[in-house]
């Protein structure tokens, strides 16, 4: 004969069971359990029932991740895709997604076993973050963990990791022409990256976001010229002589000091090139044909070209030097016939650009045709103090093979 249960006793038992279940799920990702915090604990919820991902860009990745079991939603029925994720949380998710063996915790913090496993796998450790593992993860840090999870064991420039991740298709941009290296990472972004890692682990080759690769190259290397204009660096036996830390020039008297922030290559034939915004309206630009006749308007006829823009700032200058920097490319084929054609508007070599109405200003922008470029020598970029007889400084050398 079944014994009846007091309704009050049943209610207390049910409440206790729910809290115990919530505690188990919360501890599985290291979250603290608080009986009054009903909206912050993660629990196993069917992905299709989340109330806040139906129109989210990462909906598919979120559903895949939840189905695989390395991440959960919240007990209030949400997933909170735009919530920041900590270094510890991402490490736990990554280790779990990779199926790495994690030993049961014996005291210490909830995340200690995951960092131990990640360290043994050569991915990361709590010490790498100076034990500040509850801090929000940045995109650059995520890129480093992602590439190390893919067995990129090399020691490298910290900024290079995000370039490698973008080139491998693991990470895309955070906006047009922006890699967002220092921005924090959300749960949705983290899951998307982890799903891509799993795809590569499974043998897939991912398509890279070319604009993200360019932005990452500028962030790491102060230029995207090698990505945008590879044909100009086709002769790999010839050194480029390029060193990002050497992009500066000083006057002998110490009163002028200019630094190049970036050498940005822009594809005029690509209307979606995010760096087009760095130029004035193309209708206001002209290229210098060396005849002092007002130059040649940059019409659609010349759009199958690259523009290389040298961005700079001045640490020190005065009225004698002004805010000018000579940043000039030299090279090309200069026979009489080519020069006559050049003067008449045939873009057969590089040419300086200037803006109508601002002819006295130096744009530090050079146009290069993609076709018809005549050269039998290297193309070199020199920096020079803006005074007569100053010594040019070679900072970049390209040897194309057209």
User: Is 171 a residue whose pLDDT tops 50?
Assistant: yes
Percent of the chain whose pLDDT exceeds 70: 87
> Rounded to whole angstroms, how far apart are CA atoms 75 and 295?
67
The residues, ordered by sequence, that sit 6+ positions from 207 with a Cβ below 8 Å of its Cβ are 169
Selection from 283, 347, 280, 284 nearest residue 309 by Cα: 280
CA distances from 324 to 29, 131, 269 (A): 56, 46, 29
> Rounded to whole angstroms, how far apart are CA atoms 63 and 82?
15
Residue 156 in contact with residue 102, Cβ under 8 Å? no
CA distances from 391 to 251, 397, 400 (A): 9, 17, 26
Give strand pairing partners of 313.
259
Selection from 110, 179, 103 nearest residue 139 by Cα: 179
- Burial class from Cβ neighbours inside 10 Å (0-12, 13-18, 19+) for residue 108 reads exposed
Helices (H), 312-394: 336-343
CA distances from 169 to 6, 63, 75, 211 (A): 60, 21, 33, 11
Question: Which has the minimum average pLDDT: 27-31, 245-249, 294-298, 391-395?
Answer: 27-31
Region 156-181: what's the mean pLDDT? 90
User: Is 39 a residue whose pLDDT tops 70?
Assistant: no
The reported pLDDT for the residue numbered 293 is: 85
Sign of CA dihedral 193, 194, 195, 200: positive
Question: Which has the minimum average pLDDT: 161-170, 232-241, 286-295, 359-368?
Answer: 232-241
Region 118-130: what's the mean pLDDT? 94
The residues, ordered by sequence, that sit 6+ positions from 375 with a Cβ below 8 Å of its Cβ are 331, 332, 333, 349, 400, 402
Residue 163 in contact with residue 180, Cβ under 8 Å? no
> Rounded to whole angstroms, how far apart are CA atoms 352 and 367?
6
Confidence category of residue 43, pLDDT binned at 50, 70, 90? low
User: Is 386 a residue whose pLDDT tops 60?
Assistant: yes
Region 385-393: what's the mean pLDDT? 93
Region 289-303: what's the mean pLDDT? 93
Selection from 352, 263, 269, 355 nearest residue 305 by Cα: 269
Region 237-252: what's the mean pLDDT? 92
Question: Which has the minimum average pLDDT: 12-26, 66-80, 249-263, 350-364?
Answer: 12-26
Question: Which has the minimum average pLDDT: 11-20, 76-85, 114-123, 188-197?
Answer: 11-20
- Cα 392 to chain centroid distance, Å, stands at 32
The reported pLDDT for the residue numbered 44 is: 52
Highest mean pLDDT among 204-218, 235-249, 327-341, 364-378: 204-218
The reported pLDDT for the residue numbered 1 is: 38
User: Is 46 a residue whose pLDDT tops 80?
Assistant: no
| CA torsion, ordered 288, 290, 294, 300, to nearest 10 deg | -40
The residues, ordered by sequence, that sit 6+ positions from 78 with a Cβ below 8 Å of its Cβ are 39, 50, 51, 52
CA distances from 348 to 267, 343, 374, 400 (A): 17, 10, 6, 14
229-241 pLDDT tens trace: 999 998 777 788 9
- Burial class from Cβ neighbours inside 10 Å (0-12, 13-18, 19+) for residue 81 reads buried
The reported pLDDT for the residue numbered 41 is: 54
User: Is 90 a residue whose pLDDT tops 70?
Assistant: yes
Region 38-65: what's the mean pLDDT? 75
Cβ neighbour number for residue 55 with a 10 Å cutoff? 6
99 φψ region: left (φ > 0), alpha (ψ -120 to 50), beta (else): left
Cβ neighbour number for residue 371 with a 10 Å cutoff? 9
Residues in the chain, total: 402
Confidence category of residue 263, pLDDT binned at 50, 70, 90? very high
Region 154-182: what's the mean pLDDT? 89
Confidence category of residue 20, pLDDT binned at 50, 70, 90? very low
């Amino acid at each position: 004969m079944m014994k009846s249960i007091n309704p009050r006793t049943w209610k207390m038992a049910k409440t206790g069971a729910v809290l115990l279940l919530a505690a188990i799920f919360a501890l599985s990702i290291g979250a603290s359990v608080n009986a009054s915090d009903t909206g912050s604990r993660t629990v196993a919820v069917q992905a299709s029932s989340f109330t806040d991902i139906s129109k989210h860009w990462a909906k598919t990745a979120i559903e895949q991740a939840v189905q695989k079991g390395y991440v959960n939603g919240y007990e209030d029925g949400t997933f909170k895709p735009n919530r920041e994720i900590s270094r510890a949380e991402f490490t736990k998710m990554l280790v779990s997604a990779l199926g790495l063996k994690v030993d049961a915790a014996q005291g210490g913090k909830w995340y200690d076993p995951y960092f131990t496993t990640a360290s043994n796998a050569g991915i990361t450790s709590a010490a790498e973050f100076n034990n500040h593992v509850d801090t929000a993860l940045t995109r650059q840090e995520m890129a480093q963990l992602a590439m190390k999870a893919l067995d990129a064991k090399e020691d490298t420039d910290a900024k290079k990791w995000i370039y490698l991740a973008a080139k491998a298709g693991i990470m895309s941009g955070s906006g047009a022409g922006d890699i967002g290296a220092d921005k924090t990472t959300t749960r949705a972004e983290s899951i998307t990256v982890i799903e891509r890692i799993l795809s590569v682990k499974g043998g897939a080759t991912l398509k890279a976001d070319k604009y993200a690769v360019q932005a990452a190259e500028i962030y790491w290397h102060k230029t995207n010229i090698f990505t945008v204009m590879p044909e100009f660096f086709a002769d790999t036996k010839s050194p480029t002589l390029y060193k990002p830390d050497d992009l500066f020039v000083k006057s002998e008297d110490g009163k002028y000091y200019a630094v190049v922030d970036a050498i940005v290559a822009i594809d005029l034939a690509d209307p979606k090139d995010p760096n087009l915004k760095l130029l004035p309206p193309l209708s206001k630009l002209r290229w210098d044909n060396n005849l002092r006749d007002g130059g040649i308007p940059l019409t659609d006829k010349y759009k199958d070209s690259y523009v290389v823009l040298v961005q700079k700032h001045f640490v020190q200058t005065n009225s004698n030097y002004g805010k000018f920097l000579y940043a000039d490319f030299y090279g090309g084929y200069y026979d009489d016939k080519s020069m006559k054609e050049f003067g008449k508007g045939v873009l057969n070599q590089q040419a300086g650009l200037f803006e109508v109405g601002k002819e006295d200003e130096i744009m530090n922008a050079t146009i290069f045709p993609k076709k018809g470029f005549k050269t039998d020598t290297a193309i070199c970029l020199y920096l020079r103090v803006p005074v007569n007889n100053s010594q040019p400084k070679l900072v970049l050398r390209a040897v194309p093979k057209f």
